[in-house]
């Protein structure tokens, strides 16, 4: 009896040391919770918490879209009057960022049921015990994903709060502390409202509102990207494990039924990973397309602002904005390339494993597996774009074309 208890307690301790699936999703979940959103159904969620999150989400979205409308009106008025062209082009970069964040939040919220199914299927595939996790090298994959994620959201947090707090810090240092000059009240982002926001408490209300909107938009952007990259990392981990499992198999040393069962399990595992990739593309396809289109325009507009001459403080913020846009593109393209490489490895593993002494029927079935593996799984921005590291060079070329057009319009 005591031996059974010791065995059970040992198993429980082993599970505690094992890495749970949620370790890959915690960063995305944290940013989604900050705007009151659950991307997928969580176990043991309480009703009152879901109600609180629901109303928090509504309040955040109302504030975000109100700020977006005020920025759009400012740009239309500036272009219509032919004044403040530089401020309008700077605002277009912010507007593009907000629209993409808005689109991601809306679209991912509509995909909650499908996301729940994807996470559930990954949990079924996820090994529980420490001994079962060892062949998957989960710690290595988690640490790599964590490094990417921390750098990614760290850079974007620095960017957004540099913009948000710039004028507050400017006032505290130049006016309140040093008394160098009279402070002119400014907001982080150019906007239009039907009243004078620079007087009284209206200024503080507008300033806080824009800060909250900026953070909400950023959270929606970061959470969608990190959730997608976490799911891709998990699928890549399973592809690598499947490749190693195939290469380690020695065929033909036992009855044919043994090899047949191995093939059946391998094909079922491979098919489940392919279906997971298809679901990830259907969930995040629109988000990926908006990412690459907006990044192209962002790089164009920010590059234009940098070449026409700006103050040093504006230049620093523009460099940050440009760098973050590039980091976003490279992070997504890197994960997409890893998915292509890992899925292509299946065919190589089938060819490389010891099949020479196997039954002829077994060897014929290997041809079908290799043929299917020659069509690698990819991240797709809907039907328009297959994403890989090659996509980055295409994006930079497109951005340069827009930049040259905008520069020509400004000079003429």
The whole-angstrom separation of Cα 260 and Cα 247 is 16
Say yes or no to pLDDT of 320 above 80.
no
Per the listing, tokens 């991912």 go with 108
Distance CA(379)–CA(376), nearest Å, equals 10
pLDDT band at 1 (very low <50, low <70, confident <90, very high): very low
Q: What is the pLDDT of residues 133-171, one digit of tens each?
A: 889 999 999 999 999 999 998 888 888 888 788 777 777
Cα 169 off chain centre by: 31
pLDDT of residue 382: 80
pLDDT at residue number 357: 85
pLDDT tops 50 at residue 402 = yes
Average per-residue pLDDT in the chain? 84
CA max distance for the chain: 89
CA distance 187 to 167: 7
For residues 58-62, give the mean pLDDT.
Answer: 94
| Measured CA distances, 75 to 95, 141, 217 (Å) | 9, 44, 19
Which of 54-58, 69-73, 310-314, 338-342 shows the lowest per-residue confidence on average (mean pLDDT)?
310-314
Question: Averaged over 356-369, what is the pLDDT?
Answer: 87
Q: Is 283 buried (19+), middle (13-18) or exposed (0-12) by CB count in 10 A?
A: buried
Q: How far is CA 129 from CA 134, 135, 204, 235, 369, in A?
A: 9, 11, 53, 19, 30
pLDDT recorded at residue 150 = 92
pLDDT for position 230: 95
Q: What sign does the CA torsion over 135, 138, 141, 147 have?
A: negative
* Structural tokens at position 55: 């109303």
Residue 4's pLDDT band (cuts 50, 70, 90): low
Cα dihedral value 161, 167, 172, 173, nearest 10: 90
Please give the backbone phi and psi of residue 302, each rounded to the nearest 5 degrees, phi first. -70, -40
CA distance 386 to 333: 10
Q: What is the pLDDT of residues 203-235, one digit of tens each?
A: 889 989 999 998 999 999 999 999 999 999 999
pLDDT above 80 for 319: no
CA distances from 139 to 146, 155, 234, 243, 287 (A): 10, 24, 12, 18, 28
Q: How does pLDDT run across 254-307, given as a tens digit for each residue? A: 888 888 899 899 999 999 999 999 999 999 988 888 888 777 777 777 777 777
Residue 200, by phi and psi: left (phi above 0), alpha (psi -120 to 50) or beta? left
Check the CA dihedral 262-265-269-270 and report its sign: positive
Judged against a pLDDT cut of 80, whether residue 408 lies above it is answered with no
86, 305 Cβ separation under 8 angstroms: yes
- Residue 174: the pLDDT is 66
pTM over 0.85: yes
């Amino acid at each position: 009896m005591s031996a059974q208890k010791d065995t059970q307690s040992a198993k429980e301790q082993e599970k505690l040391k094992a890495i749970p699936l949620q370790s890959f999703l915690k960063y995305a979940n944290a940013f989604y919770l900050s705007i009151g959103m659950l991307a997928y159904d969580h176990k043991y969620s309480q009703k009152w918490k879901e109600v609180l999150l629901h109303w928090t989400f509504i309040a955040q979205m109302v504030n975000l879209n109100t700020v977006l409308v005020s920025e759009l009106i400012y740009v239309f008025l500036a272009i219509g009057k032919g004044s403040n062209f530089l401020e309008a082009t700077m605002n277009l970069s912010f507007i593009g960022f907000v629209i993409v964040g808005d689109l991601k939040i809306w679209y991912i919220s509509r995909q909650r049921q499908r996301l729940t199914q994807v996470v559930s299927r990954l949990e079924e595939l996820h090994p529980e015990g420490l001994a079962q996790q060892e062949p998957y090298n989960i710690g290595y994959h988690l640490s790599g994903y964590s490094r990417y994620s921390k750098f990614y959201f760290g850079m974007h947090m620095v960017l957004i709060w540099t913009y948000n707090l710039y004028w507050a810090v400017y006032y505290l240092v130049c006016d309140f502390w040093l008394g160098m000059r009279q402070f002119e009240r400014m907001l982080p982002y150019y906007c239009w409202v039907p009243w004078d926001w620079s007087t009284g408490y209206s200024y503080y209300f507008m300033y806080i509102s824009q800060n909250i909107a900026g953070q909400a938009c950023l959270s929606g952007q970061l959470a969608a990207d990190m959730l997608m990259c976490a799911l891709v990392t998990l699928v890549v981990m399973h592809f690598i494990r499947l490749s190693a499992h195939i290469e380690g198999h020695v065929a033909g040393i036992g009855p044919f039924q043994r090899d047949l069962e191995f093939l059946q399990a391998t094909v079922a595992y491979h098919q489940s990973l392919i279906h997971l990739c298809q679901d990830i593309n259907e969930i995040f396809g629109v988000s990926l397309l908006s990412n690459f289109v907006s990044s192209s325009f962002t790089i164009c507009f920010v590059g234009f602002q940098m070449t026409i001459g700006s103050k040093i403080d504006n230049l620093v913020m523009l460099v940050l904005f440009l760098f973050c846009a590039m980091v976003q593109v490279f992070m997504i393209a890197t994960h997409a390339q890893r998915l292509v490489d890992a899925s292509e490895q299946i065919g190589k593993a089938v060819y490389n494993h010891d099949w020479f002494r196997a039954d002829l029927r077994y060897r014929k079935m290997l041809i079908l597996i290799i043929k299917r593996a020659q069509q690698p799984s990819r991240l797709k921005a809907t039907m328009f774009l297959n994403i890989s590291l090659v996509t980055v060079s295409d994006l930079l070329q497109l951005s340069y074309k827009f930049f040259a057009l905008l520069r020509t319009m400004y000079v003429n």
